């Protein structure tokens, strides 16, 4: 199957899964913003998206998309390194002339940071909420009380710093991935190339800010729902 066996096919798979994950992050970011205005409203969303069959199916689907995206990223990186051989250092010299973005040269490193941040996020929230509810594990905080879990997580300054590092890496990763994905699937020409880059930077910046403002608001106890 050409989607798996050819480099172009692998790039298409990475692009489609990447776009799907960006759409999920958009939903997740909008959902998180609710916590800034209403504890009850946020917990209603968490309860709706709890350990219900449709939420579990959606979670498995997202996990599959993430795994496919990550696996294909490593495959393509290894393939590119093999193709370049010893000449990859010469390519880097050309890159440093300013023709290629920093994020483009460091997508693997950024991807690893994003992956580690994702694992941390899954531990702090998915493991303590959906997983705990599914297996009936005892928790000091109700698994459905998403607001309390946000409050608990970002009361820890170490988690705040780690999340900020993660979000910065995610910004670099997505600003490159946004226009690169559209270019791969053919939605970019000479005119639209720069336009998509500009749209991508604006869109991703707003998306990351949606996450960052929640982290900082709870870290400094500035969310209206915290009554500060």
Nearest 5°: the CA angle 23, 59, 139 is 120
- 186: which 2 tokens? 């053919």
Whether the pLDDT of residue 93 is over 80: the answer is: no
- 80: which 2 tokens? 């590119």
Whether the pLDDT of residue 113 is over 60: the answer is: yes
Do 177 and 148 contact (CB within 8 A), yes or no? no
Q: What b/e readout covers 61-72, taking b as 16+ CB neighbours within 10 angstroms?
A: eeeebbeebbeb
The confidence score (pLDDT) of residue 87 equals 45
In angstroms, rounded to a whole number, what is the distance separating the alpha carbons of residues 16 and 21? 9
In angstroms, rounded to a whole number, what is the distance separating the alpha carbons of residues 35 and 217? 10
The pTM assigned to this predicted structure is: 0.83
The confidence score (pLDDT) of residue 120 equals 95
The confidence score (pLDDT) of residue 226 equals 67
Do 118 and 66 contact (CB within 8 A), yes or no? yes
Closest by Cα among 23, 25, 12 to 182:
12
First vs last C-alpha separation in the chain: 57
The confidence score (pLDDT) of residue 85 equals 55
**pLDDT confidence bin for 227, thresholds 50/70/90:** low
Mean pLDDT over 125-144 rounds to: 88
Region label for 85, one of left (φ > 0), alpha (ψ between -120 and 50) or beta (otherwise): left
Please state, rounded to an integer, the average pLDDT across all residues of the chain.
83
Mean pLDDT over 149-155 rounds to: 95
**pLDDT confidence bin for 97, thresholds 50/70/90:** very low
Mean pLDDT over 138-156 rounds to: 91
Do 167 and 208 contact (CB within 8 A), yes or no? yes
Whether the pLDDT of residue 124 is over 80: the answer is: yes
């Amino acid at each position: 199957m050409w989607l798996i066996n050819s480099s172009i096919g692998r790039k298409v798979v990475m692009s489609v899964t990447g776009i799907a994950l960006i759409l999920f992050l958009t939903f997740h970011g909008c959902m998180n913003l609710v916590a800034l205005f209403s504890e009850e409203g946020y917990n209603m969303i968490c309860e709706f998206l709890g350990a219900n069959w449709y939420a579990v199916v959606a979670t498995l689907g997202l996990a599959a998309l993430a795994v496919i995206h990550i696996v294909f990223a490593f495959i393509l990186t290894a393939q590119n390194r093999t193709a370049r051989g010893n000449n990859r250092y010469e390519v880097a010299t050309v890159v440093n002339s300013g023709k290629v973005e920093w994020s483009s040269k460091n997508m693997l490193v950024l991807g690893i940071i994003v992956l580690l941040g994702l694992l941390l996020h899954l531990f702090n929230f998915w493991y303590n909420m959906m997983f705990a509810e599914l297996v009936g594990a005892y928790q000091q905080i109700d698994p459905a009380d998403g607001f309390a879990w946000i409050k608990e997580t970002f009361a820890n300054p170490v988690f705040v710093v780690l999340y900020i590092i993660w979000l910065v890496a995610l910004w670099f990763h997505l600003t490159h991935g946004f226009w690169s994905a559209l270019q791969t699937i053919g939605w970019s020409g000479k005119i639209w190339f720069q336009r998509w880059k500009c749209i991508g930077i604006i869109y991703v910046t707003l998306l990351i800010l949606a996450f960052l403002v929640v982290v900082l608001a709870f870290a400094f106890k500035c969310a209206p729902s915290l009554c500060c």
